Structure formats: structure tokens, C-alpha cells
Chains A and B, each alone.
Chain A
Amino acid sequence: MADVTTAQDVVTYRESVAEGIAREMRRDPSVVCLGEDIGAAGGVFKTTVGLFEEFGPERVWDTPISEQAIVGAAMGAAMTGMRPVAEIMFSDFLACCWDYLANEIPKVRYMTGGQVTVPLVIRTANGGGLGFGAQHSQSVENWALTVPGLKIAAPSTPADVVGLMASAIRSDDPVVFFEHKGLFASKGRPAPDGHVVPFGEAAVLRQGADVTLVALASTVPLALTAADRLAAEGIEAEVLDLRCLIPLDVTAVLRSVERTSRLVVVEENPYQGGWGGTVVSVVADEGFELLDAPVKRVAGANVPLPFADALEDQVIPTVDKVVDAVRSLATY
């Protein structure tokens, strides 16, 4: 992980979640939150600390363990004038309310011929690296990507958490907002006042001429660390943080590949059905002639997530795996 913190890196990713929500709740009274333990308890990941105290029980609602009711109620409220922000504690639990993400929320506007809008955010703690085992560690952003009609954000830095949260809550479309568990304790620069990161704009976090590393959320610091190590070997990697999966900024990917002619996608979700497959298919289709080497995907393995740290490292992306993938392309 990129651990080169500076004096300006004073806020955590975790507290930026609550900060991003609070900023929007202050500017728009139609924003309300619901979820399990999000009120006085401040959330099991402490990502909603302070919201209940500032905004009270009419805007921050504790729910039963009842994922269908949480997301279904958020949908009904969104269709009738509110901007709900629903928390699903672990992204694995999206499976408990998957009907709403697969069949209801993304389709109701289309199938009614545009009669309704669904301006809601479903926030969820995603990803592995913390030893929570197979049912609390998955990276499931690719689940959401399988369904047309959902926007998908997955920030990698505290400032992006705030900026993307602003865009998510202001969006008139439904957004699934993946907060990475492995990043909660990470620190960065605070978001300036009024900070908004538009959806569908990848960030070039490091420039390089030899290879493009496309990353998202947890794999961004991992790619940056890999890039530092590769630079010591004389390989300059360009690192792109997609920040969103929908809209997908494939233009930024193609522009970068135009400069580097090599592409490695670093994704934590499983290789089978992972979002990198969509990215590389666009590059194969529209950027084939830009490439001087095969594309590589460093992805989660196609197995359930094991518990033991050493086993988990075997099956999720690591700096070593990224470095190895890039080296194999450099000599191609």
C-alpha cells in the first residue's frame, strides 16, 4: 500500500464518509439516511459518526436487520421526493436485497416510460484484506456492473469519498457507492469546501510512458506502490483511478494506452465476470492498434475468499502480482 503520508494527510477515508454525507444533508433537507446501527452507534465501521447527533432521528434512521426493507423503502422514498442514503453494512449482504438492485431500482424508470426517478444512494462496505472470511470480504462491484441502470462509484481517497458522495447524493439516478473496508483507516488530504467529483471522470494519479495501470478503490494505492517499485527498475507506469464503473471512463483508458501501448487492469473482484473484462473488451475493440502487447488482468482468484491472511493474499491482488504482470509485458 502507498504509505507515504505527508503532513497534509490529516483525514481518514472513514471519517470522510460521514463528512461527505453531512455536507449534503446540510445543503439539502430531502437527504435522509437509513441502515443498521447507523444512528447513535455511528455505524459498525464508524462511517456515520456524528450524523445522528447533528441531524437527529428524523433524518438518520436505524433499521432492523432487513436489507429488503432498507433498500425497498429507500426506493419508495426516492420515488416520492426524498434523497435517501441507504447503508448495507457489508457489500456481501447486497445479495439479501439483490432483487431491488437487479429488478426494481434500475428498471422502474425505464419500464414506466420515464414516469419516475429514483435518486438514491446505496452505500456499502466492500472488499477484503481484513480477514473477515468468505461472506464478509468480497469485492462485489462487478455484481452491480451486470445490471444496466445503476451508477457505480468506488473512491480510493478521502477527498474522493467526499467529492463522489456529493455527486452520488445529488444524482437523480440510483448510485451504488462502494466504500472499501481496507481503506477506512487510510489518510489523505481533506476535501476542500464544496468539493464535487463528477461521475465518469477517471483520475491520472501518476504519469508514465511504459504501461497503463487501471485501478479502482483498494487497487489504486496498490498500483501506485507497484509503480514506485517499477520505477526503480526503469519502468514508468501511468496509474489511472477509474473512480466510477458507471459511467465508465474508457476514453481516459484509451488515451493512456495511446501513450503507453501496454495495459494492466488491477481489480479486486474475481477474474470471472470482473469489471476489468469490460474495460479490456472496449480496448480490444476500439484500441487494438494502440497495443504492443497482450493486456493483463490482475484480479481476484475464482475462489471464495479464505480466512487466513496468508491464504487471502494468495487470491486477491497484491503489489507483487502487479509488478510481475508489468514485468511480463515489458519484456514482451
Chain B
Amino acid sequence: MTETTATDLLALHETMTLIRRTEKAAHDLFLSGLVKGTTHLAAGHEAVAVGTRSALQDGDYAFATYRGHHHAIAWGATPEECLAEFMQRSTGLNKAKGGSMHLTKAEAGMLGSYAIVGAHLPIAVGAAWSARLRKTDQVSVAFFGDGATNIGAFHEALNLASVWKLPVLFVCENNFYMEYTPIASVTGVGNPAADRAPSYGIPAEVIDGNDVVAVRDAVARAAGRARAGDGPTVLEAQTYRHYGHSRTDPAKYRPDGELERWLERDPLTVSAGRLREAGTSDDDIKAAEDRAAAVVDQAVAGAKAAPQADLSEAFTDVWADGGAAWRT
């Protein structure tokens, strides 16, 4: 078990607030026409990303999905880099070539957000294989949704990780909806990730994905096993998204009262409650939240002021030499 002091917890609460505020800003900027394309907001999922990162070491790898803003920020991407990316600015995290669905902070080990459901699970397995080949003690985390558990790549990834006993953490963010459809109506088991794990010989836990401390503790246990050479773990973190699937989804399919019940267990409410239990004052909590809000306010202003995407970037970065030449 990782000890979590009140100071640690306050830092986690601040990072989760930073993510929540960034998501709200992204939502508002979309409504004002400054963000185009699509966004898949992670408000409600913050504790999974932040709790996971807090239990890992620098250099550990993360692979995320198109709903990946929270993972990027948890791994050190700044709100301004992210918002600038959404707003197609040259200062964007991916130079405005990726967008909301592909946030990446490679220098921090956050090796991409992938928008083909389930595709990144085998890639995360490969990074874990590489860590073993290079004899480092790095672990590799694949974050994915409940919907990804029904695609072939999920099953191929779990099997290979198991037979090669690789240091991978498969972290499912089960928000109970596969896009617009309840996951229970399209899945043959009750816990879409955790119930599949035993068939691959992988231990699994179902955890409270809205409690950052519960996530942190479970990830610490799984990472410990991985670093000890005991192979992969599946963690199924139950959580809930506050917005719809994507920008165009008002989430009308959700039964009355469901969102409200989940909002009572909002990860920020849960962490604030834990902070108070640990003796942190309301003033200190508010100060942390205000700091996060100020960072995001500044990020919005900074991103708005940044220049639009550099047109020459359309023809860079295809190849490792920086260029795009395909012929002589």
C-alpha cells in the first residue's frame, strides 16, 4: 500500500481540478467556435488518470484513448499545450497535427492517444516488452474504455502480455456506456474487463474509479507485481462521464437521476471529503482549486493569443528525417 499523506492528496486534488477546469474550458471554447472537430471530455474520469500516475515512477509509459485529455495532463502536459492543440495553434501539444483525440507527451512517457478503439493495447504491451528487453524496471499502462473489451486487440494484448509475463497495467475506465449504448447490453459478462482477465491467467480488481486513493493503491499493488516480474494486471475502475460521449452527444439515453447520483460521488467531491477527514482546511482546499483555476484561465488566454498552425507543418514529420518525400 502506498501511503498517501494529506499533502499528497492535496496535490492530487489540485491536478484533478486542473483537468476538470481544462475540460470545462474545452467545452466552452467549442461552444464559442474556437474549438472545432470533436472532443471527448473526461470530466468525471479524473481520479483514474491522476491516481494511476501518482502511483508510478517517472519513465513509466502511458497509452491513452481518444478520451485522453486527463491522461495527458496527469503525465505532465500543460492545459495551455492541450487547449492550443484543440484550437489549432502552432503551440499545440502536437503542433496542431493531432487534435483532441491524439494528445501525446512523449518526453514524459505519455506515448499517445489512439482513436481506433483498442488498438493501443498491443502497443502498450510492446512498450512493456521493450522495457524487459532493455532490462529497465519501467511499467506500461494502457488506459481504455469498457467498449474496448469487446474488440479483438484487447484479447490479443491480454494473451500476449500474459504468456510473456510483461509489466503491463491494463486500466479499464468503465463508465458503463459504450458510446451511446449501455455496456451491459452488449457484453456477456458483468465486469467487462475484470471478468475476462482470468481467462488469460491475469489477476484483476474492480475498483472505485472515483476515489483517487483507491486507484492509487490498486495501481501501486499492480505496478509492484509488474516490477517484480509477476506480469500484467487488469484494473477495472468504475467511473462515469459527466458529458456525453463526444461533443455532439447530449447523452439523452441516460435514465433520469443517474447523472445526479454519480455527481454525488464526483471524484473531486470524494477527494475533498478525504482531505477534510485528513484535517486539511477548507481554505487550503479552496486555495488549491483557485491555483488550478488560475492556471487554466491563463492557459485559455495564452492559447487564444498563440499563432494559428504553421502551414509548413503539413509536410513535416512523416519520416524520421522530418520530411514527407515519397519519390525520387
Contacts and interface: CB of A to CB of B under 8 A. Distances in A.
Task: Verify that A and B bind, or say they do not.
Answer: yes
Interface of A: 32, 58, 61, 63-64, 66, 68-69, 71-82, 84, 99-100, 103-104, 108-117, 119, 148-149, 171-173, 200, 246-252, 282
Given A73-B160, A115-B104, A116-B111, A251 B119 contact: no
A249 B328 CA distance: 5
23 contacts: A64-B160, A69-B122, A69-B157, A72-B121, A73-B125, A73-B126, A76-B111, A76-B127, A79-B111, A82-B133, A99-B153, A109-B317, A109-B319, A112-B98, A113-B92, A113-B94, A113-B317, A117-B320, A172-B320, A247-B325, A247-B326, A247-B327, A250-B327
B170 interface: no
Interface in B119-135: 119-131, 133-134
A68 B156 contact: yes
A198 B127 CA distance: 29
A205 B108 CA distance: 49
B162 to A, nearest CB: 10
Contacts of B316: 114
A81 B61 CA distance: 13
B160 A69 contact: yes
| SS of B interface (majority) | mixed
Contacts of A69: 122, 125, 153, 156-157, 159-160
Nearest to B159: A64
Contacts of B321: 172
A79 B112 CA distance: 10
Contact of A77 (B97, B116, B130, B317): B130
Counting contact residues on chain B (CB < 8 A from A), the size range is 35 or more
Contacts of B140: 76
Interface of B: 61, 63, 92-98, 102, 104-107, 111-112, 114, 116, 119-131, 133-134, 140, 152-153, 156-157, 159-160, 163-164, 313, 316-322, 324-328
Contacts of B116: 99, 103-104
Contacts of A76: 63, 111, 122-130, 140
A250 B326 CA distance: 10
Nearest to B326: A246
Nearest to A63: B160
Among A103, A114, A116: residue with most chain B CB under 10 A: A114
B160 A100 contact: no
Given A73-B160, A114-B322, A115-B104, A252 B328 contact: yes
B119 A104 contact: yes
Contacts of A75: 122-123, 126
Contacts of B125: 69, 72-73, 76
Contacts of B123: 72-73, 75-76, 79, 104
A327 B295 CA distance: 74
A79 B327 CA distance: 25
Given A72-B125, A119-B320, A248 B98 contact: no
Contacts of A114: 95, 316-317, 322
A82 B125 CA distance: 13
B60 to A, nearest CB: 11
Contact of A113 (B93, B122, B130): B93
A58 B129 CA distance: 10
A198 to B, nearest CB: 11
Contact of A282 (B61, B124, B327): B327
Given A104-B119, A113-B96, A115-B105, 12 more contacts: A64-B159, A66-B160, A76-B130, A77-B127, A79-B127, A80-B126, A81-B130, A100-B122, A115-B104, A246-B326, A248-B328, A249-B327
A80 B130 contact: yes
B156 A112 contact: no
Contacts of B63: 76
Contacts of A104: 114, 116, 119-120, 123
Contacts of A80: 61, 111, 126-127, 130-131, 134
Given A81-B130, A82-B130, A149-B318, A72 B61 contact: no
Contact of B119 (A32, A58, A103): A103
Contacts of B164: 61
Contacts of A247: 325-328
A76 B319 CA distance: 17
Given A103-B116, A111-B102, A249-B327, A68 B131 contact: no
Contacts of A246: 326-327
B127 A116 contact: no
B326 A72 contact: no
A148 B126 CA distance: 23
A251 B328 contact: yes
Determine which residue in B104, B116, B126, B160 has the highest number of CB atoms from chain A within 10 A of its CB, and name it: B126
A77 B126 contact: yes
A66 B328 contact: no
Given A110-B318, A113-B317, A72 B157 contact: yes
A150 to B, nearest CB: 10
Nearest to B328: A251
A310 B280 CA distance: 83
Contacts of B319: 109, 172-173
B37 to A, nearest CB: 13
A112 B159 contact: no
Contacts of B328: 200, 247-252
A117 to B, nearest CB: 5
Nearest to A250: B327
Interface centre among B96, B131, B320 (most CB of A within 10 A): B320
